[in-house]
């Protein structure tokens, strides 16, 4: 396992200023295609390229080997919907009230926010999203109104992987653009891969931006009989089968890109939308925590960038990075010099990948959802749980977050506490709250972890 080995250099934090992203080359160049692959609730350890000994992901491993694997990359939220809102906008989603999970039927991602698809579409990209949306169910939040030319998926946060009778307009119903397109056969993950392949076959021109948004391995834990048979006797049989199917779909897409001669000029970014869930048998080793809490296991995720025509692969990058950076990185690759809309919180990663810049993309990162908040300052980690207090860890010596140093290193603690409170002053009021049942479960798990105890595995 590749772990962080050095204390980061100071890099300016860009939360309060507009970010200008530079094109890869000053002269006019062929714009790369961009493929963004996001899994759902994948464990930090649950891929071959992450060191897993029992989860097989040969296609992802091949891409990771050709690219750069980030060992200290984070999403901006530890649950699905706000994490995706940050990813799509390149901004801390708390700035526009998208803080809690599970948006109510009448709300979604603020329509005043500019999305990565908006910008790429304006610069000649054909844009498409396949799979889970989870950023609002009303028409104004529909992917076709948020910059995507094509949508094949479902608007909600989860659904069965097999055919199910969801009526038109149901958040779990499958759609093609705005039309009801029920899943009548086969397995959802396979359908997603096939959909991207067909899109590539029918696409008459480049460049494209494809957001392949897998539901796997999010619950419900469902896999095909064939995939289950492959992993008969496996201690995590269903999860292994689900990950195998997801990896197979990635292989189908990459195979089509190779067949079309497009792989070399395709920027591929892969990550999970948050840490592995406490309820899907995932493994976040060697990290502490899971989806929904502010330990590293909740927001540090598998992440790699592969672009054989643009960066040298076959290596790891230990700098502190964020899913917020995908927006600015994609803009830079596309040759967009200035991002429109509100100031970004993410930075362009390409100079760090090409060697033009040394050090860390970020010195500080911040996290908050309702009661829980946290921040990173280099290797230092601060966590706050309302009515419980603060803990602080040095991840350089204690990646498992077991030894609270908030009293022993008081100056560092007070500095981070002040930074976190200052960041919170610029945030919007949350537009909605979690259900009380989920708040209770999340708080119970988080509190147990703060006491270095084993939480109860109870779903609401």
Q: What is the pLDDT of residues 62-93, one digit of tens each?
A: 999 999 999 999 999 999 999 999 999 999 99
DSSP-derived letter for residue 108 is B
Let me know: does 151 contact 176? Beta carbons within 8 Å. yes
CB atoms within 10 A of CB 151: 24
Span(s) in the chain for CATH 3.40.720.10? 33-362
pLDDT tens readout for residues 148-199: 999 999 999 999 999 998 999 999 999 999 999 999 889 999 999 999 999 9
Kindly state the tokens that stand for 15.
């939360």
- The SS3 assignment for 245 reads helix
Buried b (16+ CB within 10 A) or exposed e, 202-218: ebeebbbbbbbbbbbbb
Question: Alpha carbon of 249 to those of 102, 153, 178, 273: distances in Å?
Answer: 27, 15, 24, 18
- For domain 365-450, say whether CATH 3.30.1120.10 is its number: yes
Task: Lay out the sheet containing 364-369: strands in order across.
Answer: 364-369, 372-377, 380-385, 389-394
- The CATH fold assigned to 33-362 is Alkaline Phosphatase, subunit A (3.40.720)
Domain with CATH 3.30.1120.10 in the chain: 365-450
Sign of CA dihedral 152, 153, 154, 156: negative
Give CA–CA dist 57/52, Å, rounded: 9
Confidence at 105, pLDDT banded by 50, 70, 90: very high
Helix and strand numbers (H, E) in the chain are: 11, 16
pLDDT band at residue 337, thresholds of 50, 70 and 90? Answer: confident
Single pTM value for the model? 0.92
d(CA 37, CA 158): 17
Catalytic residues: 80, 134
Q: Residue 139: which of 158, 102, 111 has the closest Cα? A: 111
Q: Which helix (H) or strand (E) holds 250?
A: helix 237-259
pLDDT digits (tens, 9 = 90+) for 13-24: 233 333 334 444
The pLDDT score that the predictor gives to residue 453 is 83
**What is the H or E stretch that residue 417 is in?**
helix 410-424
Please state, in angstroms and rounded to a whole number, the distance separating the CA atoms of residues 34 and 417.
Answer: 38
The encoded tokens of residue 411 equal 């100056």
Q: What's phi and psi for 312, nearest 5 deg?
A: -80, 130
Task: Tell me the C-alpha distance between 250 and 62, whole Å.
Answer: 11
Instruction: Please state, in angstroms and as integers, the Cα–Cα distance from residue 40 to each residue in 9, 213, 405, following that order.
Output: 32, 8, 33
Q: How confident is the model at residue 8 (pLDDT cuts 50, 70, 90)?
A: very low
């Amino acid at each position: 396992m590749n772990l962080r080995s050095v204390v980061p250099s100071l890099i300016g934090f860009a939360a309060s200023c507009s970010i200008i992203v530079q094109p890869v080359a000053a002269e006019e160049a062929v714009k790369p295609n961009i493929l963004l692959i996001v899994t759902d609730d994948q464990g930090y350890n649950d891929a071959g390229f992450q060191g897993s000994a029992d989860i097989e992901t040969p296609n992802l491993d091949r891409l990771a080997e050709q690219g750069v694997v980030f060992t200290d990359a984070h999403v901006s939220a530890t649950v699905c919907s706000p994490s995706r809102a940050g990813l799509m906008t390149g901004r801390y989603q708390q700035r526009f009230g998208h803080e809690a999970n599970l948006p109510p039927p009448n709300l979604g991602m603020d329509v005043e926010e500019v999305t990565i698809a908006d910008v790429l579409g304006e610069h000649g990209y054909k844009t498409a999203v396949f799979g889970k949306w989870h950023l609002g169910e009303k028409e104004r939040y529909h992917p076709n109104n948020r910059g995507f030319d094509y949508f094949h998926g479902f608007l909600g946060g989860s659904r069965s992987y097999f055919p199910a009778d969801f009526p038109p307009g149901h958040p779990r119903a499958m759609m093609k653009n705005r039309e009801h397109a029920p899943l009548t056969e086969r397995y959802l993950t396979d359908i997603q891969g096939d959909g991207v392949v067909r899109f590539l076959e029918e696409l008459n021109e480049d460049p494209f931006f494809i957001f392949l948004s897998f539901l796997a391995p999010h619950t419900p834990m469902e896999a095909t009989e064939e995939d289950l048979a492959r992993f008969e006797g496996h201690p995590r049989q269903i999860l292994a089968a689900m990950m195998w199917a997801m990896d197979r779909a990635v292989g189908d897409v990459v195979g089509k890109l190779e067949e079309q001669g497009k792989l070399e000029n395709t920027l591929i970014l892969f990550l999970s939308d948050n840490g592995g869930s406490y309820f899907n048998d995932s493994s976040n080793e060697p990290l502490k925590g899971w989806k929904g809490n502010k330990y590293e296991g909740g927001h540090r995720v598998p992440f790699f960038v592969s672009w054989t025509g643009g960066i040298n692969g076959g290596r790891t990058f230990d700098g502190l990075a964020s899913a917020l950076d995908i927006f600015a990185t994609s803009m830079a690759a596309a040759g967009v010099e200035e991002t429109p809309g509100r100031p970004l919180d993410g930075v362009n990663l390409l100079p760090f990948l090409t060697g033009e810049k040394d050090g860390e993309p970020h010195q500080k990162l911040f996290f908050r959802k309702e009661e829980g908040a946290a921040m990173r300052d280099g290797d230092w980690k601060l966590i706050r749980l309302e009515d419980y207090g603060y803990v602080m860890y040095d991840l350089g010596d204690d990646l498992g977050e077991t030894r609270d140093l908030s009293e022993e290193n008081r100056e560092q603690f007070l500095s981070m506490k002040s930074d976190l409170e200052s960041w919170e002053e610029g945030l919007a009021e949350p537009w909605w709250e979690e259900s009380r049942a989920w708040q209770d479960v999340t708080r119970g798990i988080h509190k147990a972890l703060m006491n270095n105890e084993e939480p109860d595995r109870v779903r609401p």
